[in-house]
Amino acid sequence: MPPSPNPTVFVVDDDAPVQKAVSRLLRSAGFAVAVFASPREFLAQYDPRMPGCLVLDLAMPGFNGLQLQTTLGEKGCTLPIIFLTGHGDVSKSVQAMKRGAFDFLIKPVNAKSLLPAIHAAIEKDAVTRREHAKLSEICARLDTLTTRERKVLEHVVAGKLNRQIASELGVTEATIKVHRAHVMAKMKVEAIADLVRLAELCGIRESSE
């Protein structure tokens, strides 16, 4: 499960000395670090495929941390965000957490709390990315099915018998069996239960027709 490429910690802070010090600390802990002076700079340069986590200063002039979080969410970016803030601004931290912030740390932040948080965030990112990759593969298998095979799959997932499926689709039971075997093969499953699980992951429901 080695992540490829290596996960990177993205640090966004408008205060240059803080930026420098935090990145230094992270490098000392063995992380790859990329620093950005403002959320806009980060947005311009960030490639969503890059794994890691985001260490984001909450209060910045102009386009601030909360706005960046919103924008990333809208883009479907799942990069975990660890917010750093100068004071415990309760309303802002609640807002941030509601929107799915990974963690919320108060400056001056101690390495003892920052580094584990980053480890956890990177771990979470890795898991997310793995799940995402798996799902993508299943969906790719799904895409190889023909329209008829897809219909058959939907009926199978709905728990219908071959005879029922054959009568509904107006074909013979034997034809359904062939299709069913093709689906099982294309989806690389051996048991019907596995097929149903994968179909659920891909969000396929039983045909209502």
Partner 1 sequence: MSWITVVWSMNGAACLTLAAFYFVLWCNQRKSWMHLAFSGSAVAGAALTGFELALLRAQTTEQYGAILRWAQLPVWGLVVSLVVFVRLYLRAGRPWLAWTVCCVRTLALILNFLFIPNLSYREITSLRQVSWWGGETVSVPVGVTNPWILVAQLSSLLLIVFLIDATITVWRQGDRKRALRVGGGLSLFSLIAVGQALLVVWGIIQVPFLVCFALLGLLAVMGYELCSDVFRAAQLARELEASDKRLNLAADSADVGLWEWDIVRNEIWITDRGRSLFGFAASEKLDFDRFRSRLHPEDRESVLNEVENSLRTGAEYRSEYRVVLPNGQLRWIAGRGHVECNGDGQPVRMRGASLDITKRKQAEEQLRMSETTLHESKEHIDLATKAAGLVVWTWDIPRDEVWLSSKDRALFGFSQGEKLTAERIQSVVHPEDRQLVHQLSEDALRTGREIENQYRVLLHDGRIRWVTRLGRVEFDADGKPLRERGVLMDISERKQAELEAARQRHDLAHLARVTTLGELSSSLAHELTHPITAILSNAQAAQRFLDGDDVDLKEVSEIVNDIVIEDERAGEVIYRLRSLLKKGEPQKYCDVDLNEVVQHVLKLVRNDFINQNVTAETDLAQNLPSVIGDRVQLQQVLLNLVLNSCEAMTDCASAERQLLIASKLEKTAVQVSVTDRGGGIPEKKIEQVFERFFTTKKEGIGLGLSICRSIIDAHAGKIWATNNADCGATFYFILPINRQEERQ
Choice between 69 and 207, CB closer to partner 1? 69
Number of residues that bind partner 1 (CB under 8 A): 24
User: Do the Cβ atoms of 142 and 204 come closer than 8 Å?
Assistant: yes
Choice between 18 and 50, CB closer to partner 1? 18
User: Do the Cβ atoms of 151 and 171 come closer than 8 Å?
Assistant: no
The CA-based diameter of the chain, rounded to the nearest angstrom, is 74
Q: How far is the CB of 84 from partner 1 (least distance, A)?
A: 8
Q: How far is the CB of 75 from partner 1 (least distance, A)?
A: 23
Q: How many CB atoms lie within 10 A of CB 24?
A: 11
Considering only residues 68-97, where is the footprint of partner 1 by CB under 8 A? 84, 86-87
Stretch that binds partner 1, among 53-61, 124-132, 151-159, 169-177 (CB under 8 A): 53-61
Distance, CA of 78 to CA of 33 (rounded, Å): 18
Q: Return the exposure string of 27-61: e unless at least 16 CB atoms fall within 10 Å of the residue's CB, then b.
A: eeeebebbbbebbeebbeebeeeebbbbbbbbebe
The yes or no reply on residue 28 touching partner 1 (CB under 8 A) is yes
State both tokens at 75.
């883009």
The yes or no reply on residue 37 touching partner 1 (CB under 8 A) is no
The yes or no reply on residue 122 touching partner 1 (CB under 8 A) is no
Stretch that binds partner 1, among 22-30, 37-45, 118-126, 149-157 (CB under 8 A): 22-30
Q: How far is the CB of 106 from partner 1 (least distance, A)?
A: 8
Choice between 26 and 183, CB closer to partner 1? 26
Distance, CA of 169 to CA of 139 (rounded, Å): 24
Distance, CA of 183 to CA of 141 (rounded, Å): 9
The yes or no reply on residue 186 touching partner 1 (CB under 8 A) is no
Residue ranges that bind partner 1, judged by CB under 8 A: 15, 17-18, 20-22, 24-25, 27-29, 59-62, 64, 84, 86-87, 107-111
